[in-house]
Amino acid sequence: MEFMRQLKRDGHYTVLITSKSLENEEWPRESLDEIYFMPDKEKEWHMPDVIKGVAFLFRNRNFDKIVALDDFDVEKVAHLREHFRMPGMGDSAARFFRDKLAMRMRAKAGGLPIPEFTPLFNYVAVTEFTDRVEAPYILKPRMQAGAIGMKILETKEKLWEVVHSLGDEMSYYLVEKFVPSDIFHVDTIMDQGEIKFAVASGYGLPPMEVAHGGRVFTSRTLKRGSKTEKALREMNERVLTTLGLSHGVSHTEFIIAKDGTINFLETSARVGGANIVELIEAGTGLNLWAEWAKLETLDENEPYKLPKLKKDYSALMNSLAKQEHPDLSAYNDPEVYWKLNKPYHAGLVLSSSDFDRITELLTQYVDRFYKDFFITVPMKDKPSY
């Protein structure tokens, strides 16, 4: 939403195209000059119709940029850019930030440390993988976002059972060695091939465990200058350089094994979801949506100027809630920076210059969330937004 508001503040003519099923969402209509809704089936669009619709709009509007605001829009927008010869990532480049197999193959070719994996193309190759790599494994859809559709497979036999059940859908998945470990993320702004802004944070629990096991989701910014923080920022730069992001924003995830080894997990050419934008803003004063809008509308060769930043620490927590409108009024410490306003969800962000104070409050508040709000429901295999 802030992306669209920033475009309007900067005086740009803004057109939103989104799914018909999202027509009643709270879009910032005051910041939009036009809005169109595409008929969709589970958020999937018929791309020939999208191209014809955009071509019709182009007749009387000279668009300068097309931007994907969500992981599931990356392929659509890449295809539109190719068709209309617009600037930005096209089909091939976008694959490295959307297709979990493509990004792994490029990372491996670039010498980046990653868990062992195999595409599900060929039975012999899968057999060689399972002979070489011990279970457990993790099945991942190549084109889904986050933890959607992932499954942990405890044995070789279970892996083959799932592989055979996929049938003709098999090639749309990959299998990877499951490495129990802590998961971290680095959120980045890139311009002219250089990192202009990067913040390293750590999840309290792996997002897959939160999504499939039903837990309170948390993340917090790391201590600046710490060994882990510096190592993650360095690895993040290697990843984005290897995968070819020269301009834009990125949310990139890493795992750190018990021996301290950092492995690349996955990346994206978008801002992080699950209120990570608010987490970063609470710690730095920078809103990634707004800065992304500024970045996308720079004139050719005009450098991006980073705003003045604050150097606080922040933490995020959110959960499904058993109440339609959970009451967060009792969470009233002065460090509370932001509260989520969404039916059947509870969430907030903390901000403080004191790293240890964030640790203390995060521990207390998560315990209270489980008592006050927490509920879990089975995760869907496809996104509902």
309 shares a domain with 196: yes
Is 69 found in the same domain as 193?
Answer: no
CB 230 within 8 A of CB 98: no
Confidence at 211, pLDDT banded by 50, 70, 90: confident
Is residue 384, in this structure, part of any structural domain at all?
no
Measured distance CA(320)–CA(373) in Å, rounded: 7
- Alpha helix locations (H) across 177-259? 207-213, 227-243
Residue 379 has pLDDT above 90, yes or no: no
The better pLDDT of the pair 43, 103 is held by 103
Asked if residue 307 belongs to a domain, the reply is yes
The predicted model gives 157-181 an average pLDDT of: 96
18 and 91 housed in the same domain: yes
Amino acid present at 334: P
**In the Cβ-directed half-sphere of 376, how many Cα atoms lie within 13 Å?**
13
The pTM (predicted TM-score) of the whole model is 0.94
Print the domain residue range for 49. 2-95
Q: What is the mean pLDDT of residues 95-105?
A: 97
Q: Is 124 found in the same domain as 265?
A: no
Residue 144 has pLDDT above 90, yes or no: no
Residue 160: band (very low, low, confident or very high) from pLDDT cuts 50, 70, 90:
very high
What is d(CA 180, CA 219) in angstroms, rounded to the nearest whole number? 18
Are residue 166 and residue 186 in the same domain, yes or no? no
- Residue 308 backbone dihedrals phi, psi, to 5 degrees: -65, 135
Token code pair at residue 98: 């959307």
Q: Looking at 122-193, which runs of residues are DSSP E strands?
A: 137-141, 151-153, 173-177, 182-191
**Amino acid in the structure at residue 199:** V
Shared domain for 29 and 173, answered yes or no, is: no
**CATH number, domain containing residue 154:** 3.30.1490.20
Exposed/middle/buried for 240, CB within 10 Å: 0-12, 13-18, 19+?
buried
Give mean pLDDT, residues 204-220.
89
pLDDT tens-digit readout, 253-280: 999 988 889 999 999 999 999 999 999 9
Q: Residues 366, 238: one domain? A: yes
Kindly state whether residues 201 and 151 are assigned to the same domain. Answer: no
Kindly state whether residues 258 and 311 are assigned to the same domain. Answer: yes
Based on the structure, what is the number of domains in the chain?
Answer: 3
50 and 68 in a common domain: yes
Spell out the residues 6+ positions from residue 149 whose beta carbon is closer than 8 angstroms to its own.
140, 141, 381, 382
Q: What is the mean pLDDT of the chain?
A: 95
State residue 158's pLDDT score: 98
- Are residue 203 and residue 345 in the same domain, yes or no? yes
Q: Are residues 159 and 187 in the same domain?
A: no
Please, are residues 77 and 66 in contact by the beta-carbon 8 Å criterion?
Answer: yes
214 has a pLDDT exceeding 90: no
Q: Residue 383: pLDDT above 60?
A: no
CATH number at residue 363: 3.30.470.20
- Whether 105 is covered by a domain: the verdict is no
Q: Among 60, 95, 130, give the residue marking a domain's end.
A: 95
Q: What is the mean pLDDT of residues 36-58?
A: 95
Which pLDDT value is given to residue 257?
A: 87
Share of the chain above pLDDT 90, in %: 89
- Domain CATH code at residue 44: 3.40.50.20
Element of type H or E holding 254: strand 248-256
